[in-house]
Amino acid sequence: MFRVNLWCFLILCVLMPSAAFCYGVTFKDYSDATGTAFDDSHEYILNPANDVSLSLTAILTAGIGTYLYGNMSYPDERNKVHKEDLLPWDKPVAGRYSETADFMSDIGSLLAVAPLAIGGWAVHTGNSDKQEFWTFTLMFTQALLFQSGINLAFRSMELWPRPYIFATDKKGQKKAEEAKPEAYGSFFSGHASAAFTVAVFTSEWFDQTHPNSSATRIVRALAFSLAGFESALRVAAGKHYPTDVIVGALVGTGISYGILEMHKKRNQMYSLWVGPGTAGVSFRL
- Where do the structural domains in the chain lie, given as residue ranges? 2-25+36-283
Contact 108, 100 (CB under 8 A): no
Predicted confidence band at 281 (pLDDT cuts at 50, 70, 90)?
Answer: low
Q: Are 49 and 56 within 8 A, CB to CB?
A: no
Tens-place pLDDT, residues 206-244: 999 998 899 999 999 999 999 999 999 999 999 999 999
Task: Name the helix (H) or strand (E) containing 278.
Answer: strand 278-283
How many alpha carbons fall within 13 Å on the CB side of residue 13? Answer: 21
- Does the predicted TM-score (pTM) go above 0.95? no
CA angle at 139 for the pair 220 and 260, rounded to the nearest 5°: 60
